[in-house]
């Protein structure tokens, strides 16, 4: 009765290996792209050029990290482009109305406004029991509409904003753009939260199997709500950063950006059906997309091709995903085959 | 050892009742679970076992009566509350987080934390490893849950329950989807649990399991309590009689039929390593059983005959005409129908309606100008459902809502819609209750009487002996015996299946 019973042979940490494989793939693609571009034009690796790439990646990275938090719960936030546009314009308006506003206060105001939008999304998703895709598609248009009617054609220029605020967009610390440092800080905080804290892991549990999450006593509604709140707040932060970096803000800022964000997340290996993927991967995805933008310009590739390349990358990422899944399934079948052989002799 | 009544019970159901609208699902059921004992709950599908389980799980609250855990009344108002009270329900097919590591599946929401509240993965994996060691199984705590066999998934659920310090384990037909080896392993785990003082409620349709594993048995019928005994004091016969409420002899209503011409003629069928030189014939009006142990190659043979799997040599003739290998479409066109063993995966489209499923196999004859006529489909489905006594809410309901027995009857309906000459049934009554079993047997017998040739793969000896005109026994891919139904006995079949005299099932 106490005899030890042997289990099926298991590959060690299969899960970890898959995660690593996803992020490694993106990193590899990035390295390849940089190598090819640098071989063509060595100035691509100059400090200034790298700074430019990091600057253009930072805002997308903040959005992608926020999106990851939502996507791992098997939801999606399509309104981030509109939230970014709205907060960018609001930040400009704030400086026009009160030129002396401290920068920190402006940042907090932007984050707060974004969080408010996230709260709206989260509440609607929780209350309406309608897929987040539809809800956030609605808020995408609603928020953009509010933005347009508020701006009514007005454009806020760099001259309307304080010098110190605009410096935020170009300043460097030890040669690294402050914007990129901010994005990295956001990335580290969110990535550690997602991987190492109970509330973060519960987001994965919800995305992996909602029914089991409820059985495990997880407050599913509250956690999903929190995810939208985080995504909204980070989109708000991204809006402030956008205003600081570009200096010119009107009501069209960030139009269509949500698709780039989703692309970065998917390319970074975050499963669109939830449950797996990391903030690191999404950030790498954002970095890859930004690098493609500048490297294609260096390679003098027709900018129209850029979109086709991004599309191909998404398909490649999904293809890699399927390949890994198929290999896992094959392994499972093999081990079950072994179990069945055991049956025929043992029964 | 004291009797069930002597020791004070760990969990006591007192006169619980539950109605859904006008339907009384459970009426006044009482029994007690004792520490260190496995208690079987037997009854046909629809007898109210699932409702009892759901009350224990906290999904349903009893309308009257109540639960007592260690003498204190409890009334869990949800699954989380039942778990917290110490009652764990292990479902037939557990719901895990497929993307997450096994250890995290066990400790979700309760992960051990270290400094700054960060999850301590090392400690979590160690704790999971200790749980598996206690269960005597080897599962890597760090591997992803996706790809675990059902048996391993159940063990993860049991480990989870252990980590929550569950005292009562409710297992709802845990062995239905397990192989023999896996079931044996599960039984070892269950015995280990009871040795450590847990009480187990075990639900199964398999009497051999109940009689080898369980200490006590409660029988339910039509939502009511029938009896609670020590297993040692009852026999299979008495239990079955109490479950069905009628005589057991009615279980195999085989009509005597004079067999006609040979319809299915299989000669020298070989697939290296799977089956070898298999020859068999089935005549009109005849029921032929393919008996043997699990893994003897029986399912593989019928799958090859139907054209799902390929074979290397040999041929299959239907009514004298050679059947091209590897083509189920050709087999169907020549009048063969195969009702697969795994009806959920291979037999039915669970999301589609009853009528859609029933007519799925003969869309062409029902279509006009290539379009399906809803009315024609409905008429054909109604007719079939009536003929087979499929109990359903409405023909438009999704098949997933039907009970296992009715699903099996619907698979039958689907294939009978093609008016086959040869009907192949793979384990036609696995996992369905005694009453529905009898109905499936009645249908089989009726079809044979209508001159259909029936080939049945079955691992249940009583079914083989009760239904078959001829019994073919397979062992390790070969046919080792052919016995006329009148001469086949448990001993002779088991001898041919194992190669050993009278070892018994």
DSSP A167-215: HHTT-EETTEEHHHHHHHHHHHHHHHHHHHSHHHHHHHHHHH-HHHHHH
Tell me, yes or no, whether B68 lies in a domain. Answer: yes
Does B231 share its domain with B159? Answer: yes
Contacts of A335 in chain B (CB under 8 A): 149
Does B155 share its domain with B225? Answer: yes
Question: Distance between CA A134 and CA A76 in Å, rounded?
Answer: 9
Does B177 share its domain with B279? Answer: no
User: How far does CA A268 lie from the centroid of its chain?
Assistant: 8
Does B425 share its domain with B503? Answer: yes
Q: Could you identify the residue written with the tokens 């009892």?
A: B52
What stretches in chain B show pLDDT beneath 70? 1-7, 22-23, 45-46, 246-253, 342-377, 384-385, 387-404, 431, 433-434, 500-505
The mean pLDDT of A286-312, rounded to a whole number, is 85
CATH code (residue B496): 3.40.50.300
Q: Chain B: nearest CA to A120, how far in angstroms?
A: 27
Contacts of A13 in chain B (CB under 8 A): 101, 140, 142-143
Q: Residue A113 to residues A76, A237, B90: CA-CA distances in angstroms?
A: 19, 9, 46
DSSP B111-130: --B-GGG-B-HHHHHHHHHH
Does B370 share its domain with B234? Answer: no
Tell me, yes or no, whether B295 lies in a domain. Answer: yes
Question: Distance between CA B101 and CA B111 in Å, rounded?
Answer: 12
Q: Tell me: the pLDDT tens digits for B6-38?
A: 568 899 999 999 887 766 788 899 999 999 999
Q: Does B504 touch chain A (CB under 8 A)?
A: no
Task: Count other Cβ atoms within 10 Å, centred on residue A240.
Answer: 29
Does B155 share its domain with B30? Answer: yes
Task: Count other Cβ atoms within 10 Å, centred on residue B133.
Answer: 11
Does B225 share its domain with B301? Answer: no
What the block records as the tokens of A281 is: 């991967």
Query: Where a domain ends, among B200, B218, B245?
Result: B245
Tell me, yes or no, whether B128 lies in a domain. Answer: no
Query: Chain A: residue nearest B89 by CA?
Result: A215
DSSP 8-state assignment for residue B308: S
Tell me, yes or no, whether B137 lies in a domain. Answer: no
Query: Chain A: residue nearest B78 by CA?
Result: A215
Measure CB to CB from residue B139 to each of A3, A7, A192 and give the nearest one: A7
Tell me, yes or no, whether B158 lies in a domain. Answer: yes
Domain ranges of chain A: 15-334
| pLDDT over 90 at A105, yes or no | yes
Does B299 share its domain with B426? Answer: yes
How many domains does one find in chain B? 3
Torsion region of B147: left, alpha or beta (phi above 0 gives left; psi -120 to 50 gives alpha): left
Q: Which fold has domain A15-334?
A: ABC transporter involved in vitamin B12 uptake, BtuC (1.10.3470)
Tell me, yes or no, whether B213 lies in a domain. Answer: yes
The mean pLDDT of A275-279, rounded to a whole number, is 92
DSSP A70-82: HHTTT---TTHHH
Contacts of B15 (CB under 8 A, 6+ apart): B28, B29, B30, B64, B65
Does B397 share its domain with B253? Answer: no
ipTM summary value: 0.82
Measure CB to CB from residue A212 to each of B96, B137, B147 and give the nearest one: B96
User: Would you state the pLDDT for residue B45?
Assistant: 65
Query: Chain A: residue nearest B112 by CA?
Result: A198
Tell me, yes or no, whether B119 lies in a domain. Answer: no
Q: Quote the domain boundaries for residue B79.
A: 11-96+148-245
| pLDDT over 90 at A86, yes or no | yes
User: Would you state the pLDDT for residue A12?
Assistant: 41
Pair A242, B137: CB distance under 8 Å: no
- Helix (H) / strand (E) element for B23: namely strand B23-33
Q: Tell me: the pLDDT tens digits for B141-150?
A: 999 898 888 8
Query: Where a domain ends, among B245, B274, B302?
Result: B245
Does B159 share its domain with B58? Answer: yes
Question: Distance between CA B172 and CA B92 in Å, rounded?
Answer: 6
Q: Does B326 touch chain A (CB under 8 A)?
A: no
Does B293 share its domain with B401? Answer: no
Q: Tell me: the pLDDT tens digits for A337-346?
A: 444 444 333 3
Q: Flag if A331 and B181 touch (Cβ within 8 Å).
A: no
Q: Residue B423 to residues A64, A145, B330: CA-CA distances in angstroms?
A: 57, 65, 15
Contacts of B125 in chain A (CB under 8 A): none
Q: Does B66 touch chain A (CB under 8 A)?
A: no
Question: Distance between CA A201 and CA A195 in Å, rounded?
Answer: 6
Query: Where a domain ends, among B245, B273, B291?
Result: B245
């Amino acid at each position: 009765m106490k005899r030890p019973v042997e289990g099926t042979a298991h590959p060690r940490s299969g899960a970890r290996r898959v995660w690593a494989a996803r992020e490694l793939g993106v990193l590899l693609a990035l390295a390849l792209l940089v190598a090819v571009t640098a071989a063509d034009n060595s100035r691509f690796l100059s400090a200034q050029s790298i700074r430019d790439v990091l600057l253009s990646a930072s805002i997308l990275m903040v959005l992608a990290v926020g999106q990851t938090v939502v996507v791992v719960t098997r939801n999606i936030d399509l309104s981030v482009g509109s939230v970014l546009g709205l907060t960018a314009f609001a930040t400009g308006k704030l400086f026009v109305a009160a030129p002396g506003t401290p920068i920190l206060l402006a940042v907090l105001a932007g984050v707060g406004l974004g969080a408010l939008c996230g709260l709206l999304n989260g509440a609607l998703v929780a209350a309406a029991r309608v897929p987040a895709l539809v809800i956030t598609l609605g808020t995408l248009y609603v928020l953009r509409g509010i933005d347009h009617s508020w701006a009514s054609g007005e454009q806020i220029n760099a001259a309307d904003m304080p010098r110190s605020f605009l410096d935020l967009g170009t300043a460097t610390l030890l040669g690294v753009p402050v914007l990129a440092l901010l994005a990295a800080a956001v990335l580290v905080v969110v990535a550690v939260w997602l991987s190492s804290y109970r509330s973060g892991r519960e987001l994965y549990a919800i995305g992996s199997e909602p029914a089991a999450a409820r059985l495990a006593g997880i407050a599913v509604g509250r956690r999903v709500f929190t995810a939208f709140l985080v995504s909204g707040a980070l989109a708000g932060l991204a809006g402030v950063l956008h205003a600081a970096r570009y200096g010119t803000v009107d009501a069209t800022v960030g139009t269509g950006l949500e698709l780039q964000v989703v692309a970065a997340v998917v390319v970074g290996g975050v499963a669109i059906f939830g449950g797996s993927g990391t903030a690191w991967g999404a950030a790498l995805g954002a970095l890859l997309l930004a690098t493609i933008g500048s490297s294609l310009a260096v390679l003098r590739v027709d900018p129209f091709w850029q979109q086709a390349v991004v599309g191909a990358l998404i398909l490649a990422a999904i293809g890699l995903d399927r390949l890994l899944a198929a290999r896992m399934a094959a392994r499972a079948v093999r081990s079950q085959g072994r179990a069945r052989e055991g049956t025929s002799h043992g029964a | 050892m004291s009797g069930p009544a002597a020791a004070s019970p760990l969990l006591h159901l007192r006169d619980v009742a539950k109605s859904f609208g006008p339907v009384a699902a459970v009426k006044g059921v009482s029994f007690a679970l004792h520490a260190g004992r496995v208690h079987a709950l037997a009854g046909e599908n629809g007898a109210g076992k699932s409702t009892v389980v759901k009350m224990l799980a906290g999904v349903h609250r009893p309308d009257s009566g109540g639960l007592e855990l260690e003498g204190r009344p409890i009334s869990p108002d949800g699954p989380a509350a039942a778990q917290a009270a110490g009652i764990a329900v292990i479902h037939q097919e557990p719901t895990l987080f497929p993307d997450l590591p096994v250890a995290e599946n066990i400790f979700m929401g309760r992960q051990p934390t270290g400094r700054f509240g960060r999850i301590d993965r090392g400690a979590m994996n160690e704790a999971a490893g200790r749980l598996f060691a206690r269960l005597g199984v080897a599962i890597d705590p760090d591997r992803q849950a996706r790809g675990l066999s059902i048996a391993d998934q159940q063990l993860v659920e049991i480990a989870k329950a252990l980590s929550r310090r569950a005292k009562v384990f409710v297992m709802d037909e845990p062995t239905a989807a397990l192989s023999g080896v896996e079931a044996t392993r599960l039984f070892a785990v269950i015995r280990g649990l009871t040795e450590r003082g847990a009480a187990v409620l075990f639900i199964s349709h398999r009497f051999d399991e109940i009689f080898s594993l369980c200490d006590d048995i409660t029988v339910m019928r039509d939502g009511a309590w029938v009896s609670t005994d020590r297993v040692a004091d009852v026999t299979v016969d008495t239990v079955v009689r109490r479950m069905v409420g009628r005589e057991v002899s009615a279980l195999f209503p085989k009509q005597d039929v004079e067999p006609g011409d040979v319809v299915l003629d299989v000669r020298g069928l070989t697939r290296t390593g799977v089956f070898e030189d298999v020859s068999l014939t089935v005549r009109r009006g005849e029921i032929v059983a393919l008996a043997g142990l699990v893994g003897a190659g029986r399912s593989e043979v019928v799958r090859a005959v139907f054209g799902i799997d390929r074979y290397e040599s040999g041929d299959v003739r239907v009514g004298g005409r050679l059947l091209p290998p590897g083509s189920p479409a050709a087999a169907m066109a020549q009048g063969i129908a195969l009702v697969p063993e795994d009806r959920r995966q291979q037999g039915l489209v669970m999301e589609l309606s009853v009528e859609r499923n029933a007519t799925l196999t003969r869309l062409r004859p029902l279509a006009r100008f290539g379009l399906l006529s809803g009315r024609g489909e409905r008429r054909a489905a109604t007719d079939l459902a009536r003929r087979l006594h499929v109990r359903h809410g409405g023909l438009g309901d999704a098949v997933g809502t039907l009970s296992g027995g009715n699903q099996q009857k619907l698979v039958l309906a689907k294939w009978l819609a093609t008016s086959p000459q040869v009907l192949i049934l793979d384990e036609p009554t696995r996992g369905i209750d005694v009453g529905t079993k009898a109905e499936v047997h009645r249908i089989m017998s009726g079809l044979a009487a209508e001159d259909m040739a029936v080939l049945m793969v079955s691992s249940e000896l009583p079914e083989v002996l009760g239904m078959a005109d001829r019994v073919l026994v397979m062992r390790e891919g070969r046919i080792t015996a052919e016995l006329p139904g009148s001469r086949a006995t448990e001993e002779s079949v088991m001898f041919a299946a194992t190669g050993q005299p009278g070892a018994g099932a």
